[in-house]
Amino acid sequence: MKSLAFLLLFLGLFWAGDSEVVRWQTPTEHDFGVVQRNESVTYGFVFQNISDEPIVIENIRYTCGCTAPDWTEAPIEPDSSSTINIRYKWHKKGYFRKKIKVFVSGQRKAEVLYVEGEVLE
- Of the candidates 88, 78, 76, which has an alpha carbon nearest to the alpha carbon of residue 113? 88
- Which residues pair with residue 100 across a beta bridge? 62, 113
User: What pLDDT does residue 11 have?
Assistant: 42
The yes-or-no verdict on residue 9 having pLDDT over 60 is: no
- Of the candidates 88, 115, 103, which has an alpha carbon nearest to the alpha carbon of residue 28? 115
User: What pLDDT does residue 6 have?
Assistant: 44
Q: Is the pTM value of this prediction over 0.85? A: no
- Of the candidates 62, 75, 79, 60, which has an alpha carbon nearest to the alpha carbon of residue 22? 79
Q: Which of the two residues, 5 and 81, has the higher pLDDT score?
A: 81
- AA identity, residue 103: F
Q: Which of the two residues, 69 and 8, has the higher pLDDT score?
A: 69
The count of C-alpha atoms lying within 13 angstroms of the C-alpha of 92, restricted to the half-sphere facing its C-beta, is: 5
Return the number of other C-beta atoms located less than 10 Å from residue 58's C-beta: 13
User: What pLDDT does residue 68 have?
Assistant: 93
The 3-state DSSP class for residue 7 equals helix
Between the alpha carbon of residue 45 and those of residues 9, 27, 35, 65, the distances in Å are 36, 7, 19, 19
